[in-house]
Amino acid sequence: MALIPPHYLNSVVSIEVERKNDKDEIQKVSIATGFLVGKLTGKSNEKGPLYNLFLVTNRHVFQNEKTNQLLKEAFFRFNTTDNKGHYFKVNLLRTDNTHIWSMHSDEKVDLAVLPINAKAINDAKINYHFFSDTDLFYARDFKSKNIHTGDSLFVLGFPMSINGKAKNFVIVRQGIIARVDEEVLNERFYYIDASAYPGNSGGPVIVKPEIVSIQGTTSNNSAGLIGVISSGETYSDVAVSSQTGEARVIFTEQTGLVRIVPIELIYEIIDTITKPTTLLQEAKVEDVSSSAKEEIKN
């Protein structure tokens, strides 16, 4: 019995940069996670309703939180229908050095949203899924949808750059909703208790369907997108010198509590993109699938 719809994994994208390894060789390294969402255009064709397509990740993936330095380019790795990895090299800045991605008007919201050219990824035979209106659980609707503190969930992404050599292999880990109430939601996040590490940033959080519930409550029997991984809460422990009594080393540890951005904030950003220009055209994306295949071969 599958608790995550298998096609959900095809929505997840590895966001990578080029770095030199210890042999002074340039290689691609996964630094974060992104995923695809869609919004109805109000139009349709013979196959059904049409959607605009967007990639979602954290703002801090593209903009350094301490220095505000912007990431100039990144590689988005998808999987193809013939079971291979496929890269798109994306220039994230315009010629005037402004970023092509959009952010929320509230700077506390750790999200970046990029319009995506669906034709480009269709032409590349990408095997992809995007979260649409039938997959969404807004935090404001948790109670009416029978989603509560303590409910189980899954976090999807590529922690510690573990993403697969030949193509994307999504890491799935479990957790629970730790705290969701009006106080934290007013701060534009809520808490989950889960294992999330560098590389998970920007990954989707999926509610786990349940068939049982305590007396007087109703279970939620559907999986769906409930949020975006932002950052883990950490604590510091200090190593003190036994001779001087002074602090010598500070260790930072994960608490297991992770901040999650509610998905309604994604669509608040999308609604401000009045002209959803296609990212892959505006960014002058270079399809580097051939070099990706060579990298895999080596």
Q: How many CB atoms lie within 10 A of CB 43?
A: 8
Q: What is the pLDDT of residue 24?
A: 87
Q: What is the pLDDT of residue 294?
A: 33
Please say if the pLDDT value at position 148 is more than 50.
yes
**Which amino acid makes up residue 210?**
E
Q: What is the mean pLDDT of residues 275-292?
A: 50
**282: confidence class by pLDDT, cuts 50, 70, 90:** very low
Q: Find, among 134, 82, 110, 150, the residue nearest to 265 by Cα.
A: 110
What's the whole-number average pLDDT of the chain?
89
Would you say domain 6-297 falls under CATH 2.40.10.120? yes
pLDDT in tens, 227-249: 999 999 988 888 887 788 888 78
Q: What is the pLDDT of residue 190?
A: 98
Backbone angles phi, psi at 216, to 5 degrees: 95, 0
Q: What is the mean pLDDT of residues 173-193?
A: 97
**215: confidence class by pLDDT, cuts 50, 70, 90:** low
**75: confidence class by pLDDT, cuts 50, 70, 90:** very high
User: Rounded to two decimals, what is the model's pTM?
Assistant: 0.89
pLDDT in tens, 94-120: 999 999 999 999 999 999 999 998 889
What is the percent of the chain where pLDDT is above 70?
Answer: 88
What is the percent of the chain where pLDDT is above 90?
Answer: 70
Q: What is the mean pLDDT of residues 9-30?
A: 94
Q: What is the pLDDT of residue 14?
A: 98
Please say if the pLDDT value at position 41 is more than 60.
yes
Rounded-to-10 torsion of CA 116, 196, 198, 156 = -30
Please say if the pLDDT value at position 210 is more than 90.
no
Q: What is the mean pLDDT of residues 194-215?
A: 87
Q: What is the pLDDT of residue 29?
A: 95
Task: Take residue 54 and report the two structure tokens written for it.
Answer: 């967007």
Among the residue ranges 62-76, 196-210, 232-246, the one predicted with the least confidence is 232-246
In the sheet with 286-287, reading across from the earlier edge strand, the strands are 112-116, 48-57, 26-45, 12-20, 73-79, 85-91, 286-287
More confident of the two residues 276 and 138: 138
Please say if the pLDDT value at position 293 is more than 70.
no
